[in-house]
Amino acid sequence: MVQAYLDEHYHAVLDQPVKMLDDKTPRSAACTPHGRAKLAGWLKYLENQTAANRDRGLDYDFSWMWIELGVADLRQ
């Protein structure tokens, strides 16, 4: 149930302005080199926050977002 909620939430977020991306949507941020760099930082932030909460049973695989947004090459 949690996985389904997170999937729905993150799919919606791709088309919503994100403060860490200068109020651009993740999809629009992926269109410029500067936006791509910020997008990679934001995705890493999401992954790190999730990793910090794994002991509470909150785990999520963001790899699909890197691929869908075309920034998988920036994932380290």
Return phi, psi of residue 61, to 5°: -100, 110
Domain ranges of the chain: 2-15+25-74
Given a cut of 80, whether residue 71 has pLDDT beyond it is: yes
Q: Is the pTM higher than 0.85?
A: yes
Long-range contacts of 39-43 (CB under 8 A, 24+ apart): 39/69, 39/71, 39/74, 40/71, 40/74, 40/75, 42/18, 43/69, 43/71, 43/75
Given a cut of 70, whether residue 31 has pLDDT beyond it is: yes
The pLDDT value given to residue 65: 96
Given a cut of 80, whether residue 50 has pLDDT beyond it is: yes
Given a cut of 80, whether residue 27 has pLDDT beyond it is: yes
DSSP state letter for 23: T
pLDDT band for 3, please (50, 70, 90 cuts). confident
